């Protein structure tokens, strides 16, 4: 496994592209990103004080098993946070929250060959001590919830270690939060429903007007209400 550290880069997900096809697992970490990318084409605030990394893996999974990568990334983050004494919860599919605010975003970009996930770039942005005052109503950092906050290097080291170890679906379920909550479903249609459970397939089951509906993480996200 190659691990590379950068002072600054536009986006670790962009930078790691140069290693694609090499067959070697790689992790690229940056102290800050000038153009951090989020899901749905959004930008991801990436000032110094956070952990920003991308991991390139060759997972050899069927295309339909992409959820396993999302679950693994989220579990790796949760184990890391728990190890420092925090109490993280996953908002399906793979946002990690501390209390009611998001502390970590995950952007996974998979590359397919013959219906298999041949390469996967798992990008993780975890707020440790970075200034989030411009997003304070929706985002938080580890520093805000811990009396003794670890250093960025300590968090990065533990996260890297957890990413390279295996995780299970049971671990994912143990960290899933917000079930029983009213959520707004954001897909082709938008509606309010109650989050019920996460199925082995990775789908979220919600209840709307007495009807159970399965949502696929590839197409749909939910917002807490």
Chain residues in the site for ligand BTN (CB under 6 A): 11-13, 33, 36-39, 42, 44, 46, 52-54, 105-107, 123-125
Of 37 and 143, CB closest to ligand BTN: 37
- Can you tell me which residue has the tokens 């962009």? 14
What residue ranges in the chain does DSSP mark as E strands? 2-9, 26-33, 50-57, 61-62, 88-91, 95-98, 101-113, 116-127, 182-186, 190-198, 204-208, 211-215, 221-224
Write down the least CB distance from residue 115 to ligand BTN, Å. Answer: 26
Of 85 and 218, CB closest to ligand BTN: 218
Write down the least CB distance from residue 212 to ligand BTN, Å. Answer: 27
- Can you tell me which residue has the tokens 């970009």? 109
Write down the least CB distance from residue 161 to ligand BTN, Å. Answer: 17
Write down the least CB distance from residue 128 to ligand BTN, Å. Answer: 12
Of 104 and 198, CB closest to ligand BTN: 104
What does the alpha-carbon distance between residue 197 and residue 176 come to, in Å, rounded to a whole number? 9
Write down the least CB distance from residue 176 to ligand BTN, Å. Answer: 17
Radius of gyration of the chain (CA): 17
Of 103 and 206, CB closest to ligand BTN: 103
- Reading the block at residue 192, the tokens are 């309010």
Instruction: Name the β-bridge partners of 62.
Output: 116
Q: Are strands 26-33 and 2-9 parallel, antiparallel or unpaired?
A: parallel
What does the alpha-carbon distance between residue 41 and residue 32 come to, in Å, rounded to a whole number? 19
Of 101 and 116, CB closest to ligand BTN: 101
Of 11 and 120, CB closest to ligand BTN: 11
Are 159 and 80 spatial neighbours (Cβ–Cβ below 8 Å)?
yes
- Reading the block at residue 41, the tokens are 């084409």
């Amino acid at each position: 496994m190659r691990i590379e550290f950068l002072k600054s880069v536009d986006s670790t997900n962009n930078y790691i592209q140069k290693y694609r096809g090499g067959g070697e697992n790689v992790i690229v970490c940056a102290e800050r990103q000038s153009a951090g990318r989020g899901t749905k084409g959004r930008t991801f605030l990436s000032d110094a004080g956070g952990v920003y990394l991308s991991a390139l893996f060759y997972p050899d999974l069927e295309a339909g098993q992409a959820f396993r990568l999302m679950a693994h990334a989220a579990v790796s983050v949760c184990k890391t946070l728990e190890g420092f004494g925090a109490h993280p919860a996953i908002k399906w599919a793979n946002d990690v929250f501390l209390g009611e605010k998001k502390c970590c975003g995950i952007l996974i970009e998979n590359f397919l060959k013959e219906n298999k996930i041949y390469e996967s770039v798992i990008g993780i942005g975890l707020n440790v001590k970075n200034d989030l005052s411009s997003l304070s109503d929706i985002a938080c950092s580890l520093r805000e919830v811990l009396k003794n906050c670890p250093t960025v290097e300590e968090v990065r080291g533990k996260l890297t270690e957890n990413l390279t170890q295996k995780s299970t679906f049971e671990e994912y379920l143990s960290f899933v939060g917000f079930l029983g909550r009213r959520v707004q479903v954001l897909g082709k249609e938008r509606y309010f429903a109650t989050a019920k459970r996460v199925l082995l397939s990775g789908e979220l089951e919600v209840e709307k007007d007495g009807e159970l509906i399965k949502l696929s993480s590839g197409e749909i996200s939910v917002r807490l209400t």
